[in-house]
Amino acid sequence: MITLAATDGLAEALARIASALRVPVLILALLVLLVCALEAGRFAVELWSRARAGRNALRNLARQVIANPEQAAALSARAPSSFARDALLEIARAIIAGEQAGIEHALADYELAVQRRLDHTRILVRAGPALGLMGTLIPLAPGLAALGHGEVNTLATDLRTAFAATTIGLLVGTVAFALTLTRTRMYTEDLTALERATDSIGPTTPKPAGAPRPPAHVPVPVPVSADGMQAATVPPPRRRIITPPAGTEPSVAPPLPEAGQ
């Protein structure tokens, strides 16, 4: 009897907690729907600007900025995104200052900005369905209790709320998943365009104004190791390609075994 009473007390406490979460969960479901609509509108504007600029617009802009770094402020205004514009400005400053590391820092900052932008929809991929499920299960308990007392109207109201929360959660998760995949592809193409445009830039040092240029016939020094052998040139590290996290990738069914195996 004591164990049964304790179990009933715990069940009643959990039911009260779930009932108290009903209004906050529904408010959060509406909030994630608004955030998803905002991200969809921002994506539509960005997609429209990319369609107007052309497919290889960022690569051409990066080459123009590298050729004329003094005009980077005017050229970067046509970048497809705000963090691409910042990356072009940072690359131009690094070229003017003669800092090869500044170019790498600009590309790294671009990756971090992309990850922050993608996190907006990555969270919605999980938060939308989770809130929809919670908004579905919470109204069912009082609805079933009302059914036990013969209150069919109360049950119908709770079921309508539950089904609406499910629809909102699935809608948010589906739209956020599509936005995450599409943005990942676009931003990876942008990062590749910036890397290819900056690959031709070698390490340079700033020279004072009016400094004489070295003659064309002076050979370029080759690094030599301590034993007199020519040192191997270490290539720059390959940059990471932007990929969606494992939680946002669709599951793929294993292949079926062939006949006769």
User: Could you list the residue range(s) of the whole structural domain that residue 159 is in?
Assistant: 23-201
Model confidence, pTM? 0.70
Residue 132 in any domain: the answer is yes
Helical H segments across 82-214, by residue range: 82-97, 100-148, 152-198
- pLDDT bin (cut points 50, 70, 90) of residue 248 is low
Residue 210 in any domain: the answer is no
Q: What is the separation, in whole angstroms, between the first and last Cα of the chain?
A: 58
* pLDDT score, position 4: 64
Residue 128's SS3 state is helix
Residue 211 in any domain: the answer is no
pLDDT at 196 over 70: yes
- pLDDT bin (cut points 50, 70, 90) of residue 2 is low
Mean pLDDT of the chain: 78
* Average pLDDT of the residues in 199-214: 53
Q: Are 191 and 241 in contact (CB under 8 A)?
A: yes
Query: Which 8-state DSSP code applies to residue 245?
Result: -
Residue 13 in any domain: the answer is no
Per the structure, how many domains does the chain have?
A: 1
Q: Compute the distance between CA of residue 136 and CA of residue 181 in angstroms, rounded to an integer.
A: 27
**The token pair that represents 89 in the structure block:** 């400005």
Count of CA atoms in the C-beta half-sphere (13 A) of 154: 13
Residue 247 in any domain: the answer is no
Residue 223, φ and ψ in degrees, nearest 5: -65, 135
Q: What is the pLDDT of residues 153-179, one digit of tens each?
A: 888 888 998 999 999 999 999 999 999
